[in-house]
Structure 1
């Protein structure tokens, strides 16, 4: 029990410290958040992990840490502290990899938060205890775990397809399924004992994944900026990258042709960008 509590409290403490730094310092947030362009072009793979310790607001952080605590305790008692950590980290990476695949053509996409790992803990708990009761947020109602999981999968699929709201449905679904699979590998008899409720979660998810791989046109995204769906972080990162690319273009021209080859307009623009 002490091992489980130590691991859980360590994750919460590290997340609080890192999130605090990210909330007060936009440069820190930019350095460690999940960003498609940084991962694909600069191979900055640490972001798969570091982004899970960042949050965009105190409410975002509080909600995720409460969810982490509620799912980690019972699951940890079943699988042990180190295995709990493996499920959490594996779910974080799985969720981010799925997000990277979905948004591979959206270089300015950025995200942060522990939701992928927490969804992994939730789905793992459902796989092992499908009849557990899970409360519906901000209501007095609850659902059996398997029904909650099935509904969660449908909502995530709709969210990925429609891209309504600033919610990382891709990380939720990817992290959740990876967490479930890892837990079933650890406790294989659970798949036999709970086959039907587990299939309620896995089947629609796998069908959806097949569709988006076999038929890429199945995902037709709206123009996010026109829909008002970009977060402040999205817009900040997009503007920052545009500025960096323009500076690089001008410096490259200087390097190849010399400063004298810049037009007066380009010289003025370089001065503005350097300020």
Structure 2
């Protein structure tokens, strides 16, 4: 395993585990709108190293483990790390924008950053397929990516669960934009794929602009 990826996963597991057993630590570093507006902007990054429970942590780290090597192989370790933190920050920024008037809103998890890496991996290799636990047949990765973000839009509208859908979406935007900035040739070599992956992002901003979220 790549050293930077190993350190990133190890740090996330260690910090999350500490948060499981230390409520004050967890509370100090989680994403919390009121605290961020009071000047604690560091929470927008530190919250990405905390998780609610072991399944939440395991899902994110396994997803990162499987898809990060493709991004690292294409861009290198440093660009991968930059993309990871850009995706994490963009997820937090979008969440802050959507929940700016909900001072008690809080969230944790690396999902935004991991979704950014997943979206980048799909752009790099649009032909790859995914296997989901409950579907025993391969699913084209781009179908999963589009469906995941459309589901996130539904979750943002329904507001009937505790999942940080907005952060997932923001992370995907961060990974999508960073990948295209690093490899602009994808705009004309994979034009259709870029457009397809852009559809949920366009829908999100259309709904947001028209007050539908």
Task: Pick one of 4, 25, 43 that aligns with 1:7.
Answer: 4
Number of residue pairs the alignment of both structures matches:
213
The structure having more radius of gyration, on CA atoms, is 1
Contact 1:99 1:171 in 2 (8 A): yes
Q: Does residue 121 of structure 1 match 2:117?
A: yes
SS at match of 2:139: strand
Contact 1:33 1:111 in 2 (8 A): yes
Structure 1 counterpart of 2:30 = 33
Distance 1:93 1:199 in 2: 24
Q: Does residue 171 of structure 1 match 2:157?
A: no
In the TM superposition, residue 181 of structure 1 has moved relative to its aligned partner by 0.9
Structure 2 counterpart of 1:22 = 19
Which shifted more, 70-79 or 135-144? 135-144
Distance 1:165 1:140 in 2: 26
Structure 1 counterpart of 2:153 = 157
Long gaps (5+) in structure 1: 220-275
Distance 1:115 1:74 in 2: 18
Distance 1:215 1:64 in 2: 32
Long gaps (5+) in structure 2: none
Task: Pick one of 173, 176, 197 that aligns with 1:180.
Answer: 176
SS at match of 1:141: strand
Contact 1:34 1:47 in 2 (8 A): yes
Aligned pairs (5 A) from 1:78-97: 78-97=74-93
Aligned pairs (5 A) from 1:39-50: 39-40=36-37, 42-50=38-46
Distance 2:138 2:110 in 1: 23
Q: Does residue 101 of structure 1 match 2:93?
A: no
Structure 2 counterpart of 1:267 = none
Q: Deviations over 1:61-80 (max 9, x none)?
A: 11111111111011110110
SS at match of 1:130: coil
Per the normalisation by structure 2, the TM-score is 0.96
Contact 2:186 2:194 in 1 (8 A): no
Per the normalisation by structure 1, the TM-score is 0.75
Distance 2:133 2:45 in 1: 27
In the TM superposition, residue 207 of structure 1 has moved relative to its aligned partner by 3.1
Contact 1:131 1:145 in 2 (8 A): yes
SS at match of 1:140: strand
Q: Does residue 133 of structure 1 match 2:132?
A: no
In the TM superposition, residue 206 of structure 1 has moved relative to its aligned partner by 2.1
Task: Pick one of 45, 50, 54 that aligns with 2:50.
Answer: 54
Distance 2:40 2:169 in 1: 23
Distance 1:154 1:26 in 2: 34
